[in-house]
């Protein structure tokens, strides 16, 4: 997505549930602190989530979708608290938004902060998660069989979705120094669905001569989780569920789920989103780590072509983490989310 010559940048803010409401304002402050590095940002507050559902009966109001589609250049989403039981009439708004806006790639960089800016990061990889299908098509049924209750879910893998996520992953790998891509699957068991994913991603390389420069490997998802502990991966591409699990597991390598950002990207729209959930256990205490959201804002801006602005945000966050003065409890400190606002405003 190239930088358009925009005078202003309209950003939809959907904090949704739990700590999303605490960390998205910090991302907004980080964007505001950029000054003239980006077109004047205009923020539009939008609602969605389980709390919205309990209040209004709708988890993703039509107005939120329409404003995103018609008025916004990009968006930031916080976190959602979907219940673990079936609630009649409720469906996850983030899963729906990714589909409605066709944000088919969830790009999740997992990068550690090195002790000094001259040293390379020990962990530096990107999990590219297919974002629209797999088990997240949410076609589940419960029936009664000979031995009692039976539950089934449809797992949809298509050539189209696997090809376009494959292309996105190849582009990302091509732009990195190592130019290495690992296709994650479990096609020794799921030879039809994961087999199609694997074949479709691999076929992308044969259709574009630029991608010959990328070294392609494969890894079964279970061993991939283990092997993430060794610095072998560069870009990993995975079906939806594996990508979700792999990136949460990888967060352990960089200290906390609270520092891992993502963007949900399509061909015409991008939405930043921290990888973490709504963390009801700490919601309301003001101690949520805003780093993942702040870095998600940077990723979103980078995706739109505002590379310098994205650098500025990332460098500021790197310095803060290096200094170790402003660490929230997930990173072993006592800092409050609010202290990030003050620091971002002071350093702008
Ligand atoms: N920001 C990521 C997030 O909200 N994670 C929680 C999650 O995945 N929830 C699933 C859902 O409620 O749809």
Q: What CATH number has the domain bearing residue 313?
A: 3.40.718.10
* 9 in any annotated domain: yes
Q: Dig out the tokens for 196 from the structure.
A: 């199609």
DSSP label at 250?
Answer: H
**20-32 vs 307-323: helix crossing angle, rounded to 10:** 120
Ligand 1 centroid – CA 231 distance (Å): 28
Give the C-alpha separation, 191 to 166, whole Å: 18
ipTM over 0.85: yes
CB of residue 244 inside a 6 A radius of ligand 1: no
Structurally, the chain folds into a number of domains equal to 2
3-state helix, strand, coil in the chain (%, to 5): 45, 20, 35
Ligand 1 centroid – CA 278 distance (Å): 7
Using the atom order of ligand 1, give the atom closest to the CA of residue 95: 13
Per the structure, the complete domain to which residue 236 belongs is given by 113-254
Burial zone of 125 (CB within 10 Å; 0-12 exposed, 13-18 middle, 19+ buried): buried
Active-site residues, by number, are 136, 186, 222, 244, 248
At 229-242, the pLDDT tens digits run 998 999 999 999 99
* pLDDT at residue 348, rounded to an integer: 58
* pLDDT at residue 4, rounded to an integer: 54
* 332 in any annotated domain: yes
Sequence-separated (6 or more) residues with CB below 8 Å from residue 314: 295, 298
CB of residue 239 inside a 6 A radius of ligand 1: no
* pLDDT at residue 1, rounded to an integer: 56
CB of residue 82 inside a 6 A radius of ligand 1: yes
CB of residue 262 inside a 6 A radius of ligand 1: no
Give the C-alpha separation, 113 to 122, whole Å: 8
Same domain, yes or no: 135 and 26: no
Ligand 1 centroid – CA 309 distance (Å): 27
Please, are residues 80 and 50 in contact by the beta-carbon 8 Å criterion? Answer: yes
Same domain, yes or no: 137 and 268: no
Ligand 1 centroid – CA 204 distance (Å): 30
Please, are residues 38 and 9 in contact by the beta-carbon 8 Å criterion? Answer: yes
pTM value?
0.95
Same domain, yes or no: 127 and 244: yes
* 152 in any annotated domain: yes
At 158-214, the pLDDT tens digits run 999 999 999 999 999 999 999 999 999 999 999 999 999 999 999 999 999 999 999
Same domain, yes or no: 318 and 192: no
CB of residue 26 inside a 6 A radius of ligand 1: no
* 234 in any annotated domain: yes
Q: Dig out the tokens for 108 from the structure.
A: 């999740």
* pLDDT at residue 273, rounded to an integer: 98
Closest residue by Cα to atom 13, ligand 1, is 92
* pLDDT at residue 341, rounded to an integer: 74
| Terminal Cα distance for the chain, rounded | 27
Q: What parts of the chain have a pLDDT lower than 50?
A: none
* 108 in any annotated domain: no
CB of residue 80 inside a 6 A radius of ligand 1: yes
Give the C-alpha separation, 303 to 72, whole Å: 15
* 174 in any annotated domain: yes
Burial 223-245 (b: 16+ CB within 10 A, else e): ebbeebeeeebbbbbbbbebbbb
């Amino acid at each position: 997505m190239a930088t358009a010559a925009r005078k202003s940048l309209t950003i939809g803010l959907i904090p949704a549930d739990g700590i999303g409401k605490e960390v998205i304002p910090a991302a907004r402050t980080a964007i505001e602190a950029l000054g003239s590095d980006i077109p004047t940002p205009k923020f539009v507050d939008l609602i969605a989530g389980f709390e919205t559902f309990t209040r209004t009966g709708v988890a993703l109001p039509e107005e939120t979708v329409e404003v995103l589609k018609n008025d916004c250049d990009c968006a930031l989403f916080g976190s959602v608290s979907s219940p673990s039981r079936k609630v009649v009439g409720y469906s996850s708004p983030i899963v729906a938004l990714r589909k409605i806006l066709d944000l088919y790639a969830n790009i999740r960089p997992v990068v550690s902060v090195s002790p000094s800016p001259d040293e390379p990061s020990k962990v530096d990889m990107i999990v590219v998660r297919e974002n629209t299908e797999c088990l997240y098509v949410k076609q589940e049924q419960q029936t009664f069989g000979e031995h009692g209750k039976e539950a089934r879910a449809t797992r949809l893998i298509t050539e189209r979705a696997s090809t376009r996520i494959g292309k996105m992953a190849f582009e990302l790998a091509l732009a990195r120094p190592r130019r290495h891509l690992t296709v994650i699957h479990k096609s020794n068991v799921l030879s039809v669905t994961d087999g199609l994913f694997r074949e479709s991603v691999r076929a992308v390389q044969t259709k574009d001569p630029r991608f010959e420069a990328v070294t392609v490997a494969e890894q079964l998802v279970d061993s991939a989780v283990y092997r993430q502990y060794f610095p072998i991966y560069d870009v990993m591409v995975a079906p939806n569920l594996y990508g979700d699990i792999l990136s949460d597991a990888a967060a352990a390598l960089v200290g906390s789920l609270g520092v891992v950002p993502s963007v949900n990207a399509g061909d015409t729209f991008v939405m930043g989103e921290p990888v973490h959930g709504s963390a009801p256990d700490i919601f309301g205490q003001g101690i949520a780590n805003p780093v993942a959201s702040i870095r998600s804002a940077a990723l979103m801006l980078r995706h739109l072509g505002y590379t310098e602005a994205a650098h500025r945000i990332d460098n500021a966050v790197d310095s803060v983490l290096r200094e170790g003065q402003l660490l929230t409890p997930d990173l072993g400190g006592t800092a409050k989310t609010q202290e990030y606002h003050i620091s971002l405003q002071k350093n702008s």
